[in-house]
Every structure is written in C-alpha cells, then in structure tokens.
Chain A
Amino acid sequence: MALPTYTTNGQRIGYYTYLFYCGLVFFFLIAPIFMIVPLSFNQSPFFGFTPEMLRFEPEAFSLRWYRQMLGICRPDDIITTVCTNKWMVGTKNSFIIGLSATFLATALGTTAALGLSKPHMPFKGAMMALLISPMIVPLIITAAGIFFFYAKFGLVGTYTGLILAHTALGTPFVVITVTATLTGFDTNLIRASQSLGADTMRTFFKVIMPLILPGVISGALFAFITSFDEVVVVLFLGSVEQQTIPRQMWSGIRQEISPVILCMATCLVALSIMLLTTVELLRRRSERLRGIKLRN
C-alpha cells in the first residue's frame, strides 16, 4: 500500500510508526511460538540459549531430548530425568481420546446442524444457545460439574468418561462450522435429487455431503484440537492411565522442568500448522464453490 504523493512528512512518519507498531504486535503474537523450536535442539538441559548455540556451533545442538521423548535411551546420553516411555503413552492416549471424541462430535454435530438449518426448525435460537453452551461455560466449572456427576456412575478415571466429556466440548465447533457452510445451501438441489428418484439417505450421501464436506472436516479438526489440547477436564477426570500429552506437559511444567517438554511443544506447533493449513485450504475451496470471494 503505497502512500499518495501529497502526504506530508508528518503523515509519512505517522504511517511508518503505525506499520512499525503493527510489526511489533505481530512479533509479540508469533515469536513465543517459534522460539521454542531451536531450544528443543539444545544439547544442555537448560531452558535457554547457551552462548555456544548463539555462535551456531554444531556441538551445541542435539536430538537427545527427542530421543528421550520417543523413549529411546542411549547410554552415552547424560540422563537428567528418568528415561521413560510416558510421552509416547501420552501420545497414544491423546489420539485414542481425541479421535473417538472427534468421531462422535462430528456425527452428532453434523446431524444437529442439518436440523438447525431447516427453515421449519422450532425454537432455533434457544436450541443454538443450548448446543454451543459447552464452549461458553468456563472449563473449570465444566470440569467440576462433570467430575461430581460422572463419579456417581463410575466414569471417573475411565476412557469412556473422558471421551464423553471431550465429545460434549467439541460439538459446538462442529455445529458452528457446519451451520455456516449450510447457509446459502441451495435446497433446490435436494428437491432435484428427490424428484429424480433418490431416497433420503442417497440424497444425503450423494448430494448434501459432498457440498458440506469442507465444513464438516473443519468442524472435525476443531473438535479434534479441542480434545487434543484439553487439560482441565483430564486433570480432574483422568487417572494415571489416561495421561494425555497436555496432562504430561502440565505435570512436566510443575514438577521436573526438562527440555523434553520443548520437543513435544515443537511437535504440537508442527501439528497446529498442518491443521491450520488444511482448514484454510478447505475454507477457500468452500468459498470458491459458493462463489464468495471475501473472507468471512
């Protein structure tokens, strides 16, 4: 965006100050996330840049913490913390809980969004408010309520309990994204399909589903990352067996501060970049399909 030729010097300075300020804010937003990446390759067990790292000496960098994260223990590594497999167990748990919760949340959420988008839906506003309430209530209150209630049914400390809780937390995202995709959905397509002899199920899978798929996938990814990143409910509901990655990081920060946390954090950053890219590509595709150019 070039400045017009008639701007005064004062305005010019003002404009560049504004750009500089924006640059600083962007730096503030993004720098903390990327700063942990080089630190995770640190040779020494410290949470900071060593002078050797700043001089880019190859000996200052190593993969030893990644090896520890994967549970590979080599005798020549100076082991500062106990070499365990807990991060891999955490990863497995996170994926079991995350994928199950995502599956349930997507199925329930998509069905509900289809109903909510119908013009005949009674009490639309109230229903919407109810269905997205898990997103609104602070997690600590949700965790407390679920803890008391699930304890009555013996669901505390079980995978089922955690999956149910995470499903409830993930559904609002599916409902919101799928409802957004369904606005502007041409209902004549359904009529056309039905008049050509397709039954309800066939119409759904052959006509509706392909069109709303981008929204469904984005919603599913949101639900997945919600479960994958959730720690408060796991903290109160999960037992030793259901330690997920965030739960491990939580105890890692509070007890033994080891650079292995940074390795896991780096992996999580990579995962979030992947998910963000997927969601952005899907959103653009769906907007192109619907002929909308502007974002949001």
Chain B
Amino acid sequence: MNQTAKGEILTTDGIPLKVSLRRSERINKFRAFALVLPLTLFIIITFVIPIIAMLTRSIDDKQINTVFPKTFEIYKQWDRKELPPEEMYATIFGEIVSAEKRAIGKASTRMNYSRSGWKSLIKKSKRKFKKIKEGPYKEQMIALDKRWGKIEFWKALGEMVDPYTFGYFLNAVDLKYDSNKEIIRQPEKRRIYNYTWYKTVKISVLVTLFCLILGYPIAHLLATLPLKYSNLLMIFVLLPFWTSLLVRTVSWIIILMKKGVFNSILVWAGVIADENRMQLIYNETGTLIAMTQILLPFMVLPLYSVMKTIPPSYMRAALNLGAQPMHAFYKVYMPQTVPGISAGGLLVFVLAIGYFITPELVGGADGQLIGHWIAYHLKSTLNWGLCAALGTILLVVMLTLYWVYNKIVGIENIKLG
C-alpha cells in the first residue's frame, strides 16, 4: 500500500483509502435503496396518497365556495341580523343560473348538511329562475319560494364561509357549529356517534379481555407441552387463522341463530324450553362471541412466543423453595409474560376497533361499530366529509396504539404463524 507525505493510506489507484471506502459504502447504500424503491413507490402511489387524500376531505369545505364565490364575498360583510340586501340576492341568482349542474348538485348537498331544505330549494330555484327576467330579484325570489325569505337559511351558510372547516370533526363527536360559528351539541335525536365510539371501545376492550382469558391458558399449555404434542395442537390455533373470515362468520350465524345449533342443543338437553330460545345473534352478544373467536389466534401467537422463552426451571425453582403452585405462578411466571400480554392485547384491540365485516353481518342494529358508519356515509349518504372525519379519528387512534406497540415489541417483530 502507498502512503502520501501526509501519512494518508492510498489504494493502488492512488485514491485515499477513506474516500474509496466511503464511495463503495455509498454504492452499497444506493443498491439497497434501489431494491426497496419499486415497492416503496408502489405503496406510496396506490395506498398512502389515496389515504392522505381521503383524510384531507375531512376538513375540505371548498365545494360551495367554488360555486358561489361572489356570494360569499358579499356574505362576509352581511351583519346576519336581518335579511340580506338585494345585492346578495342578485349575486346568488346569477351564480345559480350560470352554475354547472353537477357542481351545484354537490354544493347543495353540502348546504343541506347545515340546514335541511337547501338542496330542494336550490333544485327548485335552478328550474324556476328562468321565469325571472330582470331585477330587483329579492321580492321575486321570495315570491317563488318563501324559504328565500327565511333568515335561518341564510345564516346556515355562515359555517361555509371558510374553505376549511372542523365541522365534520365536530359532527363525528356529536357537536356542530351554529349559525354564528359557535360550537353547540347536536339535537338529541341526532346524537349517535359518541354512543358508537363508546360502544366500539367497549366491545374492543371486552373482546381483548375475553381473548386474554381464553388465550392465556392455551398459550401456556402449548408452550409447556413437548414439541410433538404442541405442534399438533398448534393446528387448532393456526387453522382458524388461515380460514376465511366469512366462513367463520357464517358458521357463527348457524350456531347462534334462534333455530341454530347452540339453541337446539340447549332445548334438547332440557336447559331451556323450546319457546324461549335465546336471541344470541344480530345483537351485541353475537358480535362479541364471533369477534372473540376470530381474533383469538392473534392473542395466542404473541403470548406463545413469549412463553416459549421462559425456562421451565424458574417455576421448578420457585416450587422447590416452598411456594404454593398458584403463588409461584403469580409471582414468578406471570410477570415474565407481561410483554406477551401487552403485545397480544394491543394487537387484538387494534384489530377489533377497526372491524367491519363481522359486526356488519352478525351485529344487527345494536352491535355495530364505528366502521359501519364510515361505510354508511361512504356508500349511502355520500357525506364524504363526515366519512373522512370518522376515518381520520379512527386512524389516529390506531396509529397511536401501533406506536405504543412498536415501543413495546417492535413492529418488525410481528410474526406470522
């Protein structure tokens, strides 16, 4: 190897060794990155961008501003105490007449969320404004439909002045803006989301608890049995994991129906009479039972992999030192399984709060989780802002929990099977 006067080590090409090493390091980094790049781009384009784009819908309120830009300019100066001036009527008249049909349809849907009646009013106006040839417009419009003369309708537009809104987020927790942009509670009969959030969390906590109660003993059994037995019993955990979610949901419907297997067995055994078969499905009970069975493998597998690493000699030592088996278990074994409990518990909880298929099929009216309302607004009411706001809240809760999960177990330690 060559050496310069300064004492730097050179490679045979005469380049300092440090530079040469750094270069090859950089090439290696670049190569590794190039391998990951295709998938990264694919995931960003087909998955991350769509989700972020959806989330922005939750605060987006531009729709109506793009249809009625001039009206809103005047609206900002209006005192909102008495009916707006002729100028505003004239502007909104012009904008309704010239607006494109599709755009105005979307805008009026949005207006309807703040005050029902707007949609039909706009629709009717669009049709009948042809009759009005010239101003002054105010009286003619009120004569056409008296809703134009109601100040509550005009006031309701107030919440749409800004192109961004937190209104959907407020709706998602049963609050709303009144016409003066003050936050108030939804009317009694429209308060559904707080209750649904509460129920989603309640069912998820209960499912997690049931999974722990059922999963802990069998994970312990699997971890302590000799390998040839435990491998066999492991199939009981892995097969449900691999079986279609819909298949498992269908079988729960068959078992829990009023004329189903479970009720029939009870009737046959004489526990209950034929006429008072229990309603176990299409309600919260059905959701709880089915979700517990479906999510149980996700509890057992992390518990098992933690329990497998606990040497059996610890328990033997505790027993040897005179501890009662229960006491030894409580003091020696259980503390060591806490990482498994928290990993499994978090995993089950996170999966449970986002569940959609099973509650939708076996939950009936009473066993629906928040996923139901996201789907409902996506497909039925087309209130996409609210759909996105509910989704955003759910996603933020999930990501927070995953962050905790990552701190406890490390996200790359997720194991399959």
CA–CA, A165 and B304, complex, Å: 33
Q: Which of A109, A114, A141, A269 contacts B395 (CB 8 A)?
A: A141
The reply to whether A150 and B50 contact each other, CB–CB distance below 8 Å, is yes
A87 within 8 A of B: no
The reply to whether A145 and B357 contact each other, CB–CB distance below 8 Å, is no
Q: Which of A24-39 contact B (CB under 8 A)?
A: 25-26, 28-30, 32-33, 35-36, 39
CA–CA, A97 and B48, complex, Å: 21
Q: Which of B379-417 contact A (CB under 8 A)?
A: 379, 384, 387-388, 391, 394-395, 398-399, 402, 406, 411-412, 414-417
The reply to whether A139 and B33 contact each other, CB–CB distance below 8 Å, is no
- Chain A interface size, as a band, is 35 or more
Nearest CB on B from A85, distance (A): 20
Q: Which of A26, A120, A134, A139 contacts B354 (CB 8 A)?
A: A139
Give A7-28 as 1s and 0s: 1 = Cβ < 8 Å from B's Cβ atoms.
0000100100011011001101
A133 within 8 A of B: yes
CA–CA, A171 and B47, complex, Å: 11
Q: Which of A120, A146, A262 contacts B250 (CB 8 A)?
A: A262
The reply to whether B254 and A48 contact each other, CB–CB distance below 8 Å, is yes
Q: Which of A120, A125, A147 contacts B378 (CB 8 A)?
A: A147
Give how many A-B residue pairs fall within 8 Å (CB-CB): 278
- Among B102-110, B141-149, B158-166, B221-229, the stretch that binds chain A is B221-229
Once A21-B217, A33-B247, A144-B391 are accepted as A-B contacts, the answer to whether A122 and B374 lie under 8 Å apart by CB is: no
A132 within 8 A of B: yes
Task: Return the chain B residue nearest A36 by Cβ.
Answer: B251
Q: Which of A11, A29, A47, A121 contacts B32 (CB 8 A)?
A: A121
Which residues of the partner chain A approach B238 to less than 8 Å between Cβ atoms? 276, 280
- Among B10-18, B51-59, B131-139, B181-189, the stretch that binds chain A is B51-59
Interface residue tally for chain B (C-beta within 8 Å): 99
The reply to whether A118 and B243 contact each other, CB–CB distance below 8 Å, is no
The reply to whether B260 and A120 contact each other, CB–CB distance below 8 Å, is no
The reply to whether B247 and A296 contact each other, CB–CB distance below 8 Å, is no
CA–CA, A158 and B41, complex, Å: 22
B218 within 8 A of A: yes
Once A112-B36, A131-B43, A133-B43 are accepted as A-B contacts, the answer to whether A144 and B387 lie under 8 Å apart by CB is: yes
Which residues of the partner chain B approach A268 to less than 8 Å between Cβ atoms? 243-244, 247
The reply to whether A112 and B35 contact each other, CB–CB distance below 8 Å, is yes
Nearest CB on A from B325, distance (A): 6
The reply to whether A229 and B47 contact each other, CB–CB distance below 8 Å, is no
Which residues of the partner chain B approach A26 to less than 8 Å between Cβ atoms? 218, 233, 236
Which residues of the partner chain A approach B361 to less than 8 Å between Cβ atoms? 250, 253-254
A49 within 8 A of B: yes
The reply to whether B247 and A269 contact each other, CB–CB distance below 8 Å, is yes
Task: Return the chain B residue nearest A179 by Cβ.
Answer: B412
B42 within 8 A of A: yes
Q: Which of A254-296 contact B (CB under 8 A)?
A: 254, 261-262, 265, 268-269, 272-273, 275-276, 279-280, 283, 294-296
Give B235-258 as 1s and 0s: 1 = Cβ < 8 Å from A's Cβ atoms.
111111011111111111111010
Q: Which of B203-238 contact A (CB under 8 A)?
A: 214-215, 217-218, 221, 224-227, 231, 233-238
The reply to whether A118 and B54 contact each other, CB–CB distance below 8 Å, is no
A98 within 8 A of B: no
Nearest CB on A from B413, distance (A): 10
Q: Which of B44, B218, B356 contacts A232 (CB 8 A)?
A: B356
A238 within 8 A of B: no
In the complex, 12 of the A-B residue pairs with CB atoms within 8 angstroms, ordered by the A residue number, are A33-B248, A39-B254, A111-B39, A115-B35, A132-B411, A134-B47, A145-B391, A265-B251, A268-B243, A272-B244, A295-B234, A296-B415
B-side residues, CB < 8 A to A, are 25, 28-29, 31-40, 42-44, 46-55, 57, 214-215, 217-218, 221, 224-227, 231, 233-240, 242-255, 257, 259-261, 264, 293, 296-297, 304-305, 308, 325, 350, 353-357, 361, 371, 374-375, 378-379, 384, 387-388, 391, 394-395, 398-399, 402, 406, 411-412, 414-417
Shortest beta-carbon contacts, A-B, top 10: A138-B354, A115-B35, A149-B50, A112-B39, A115-B36, A118-B32, A145-B54, A145-B51, A145-B50, A32-B251
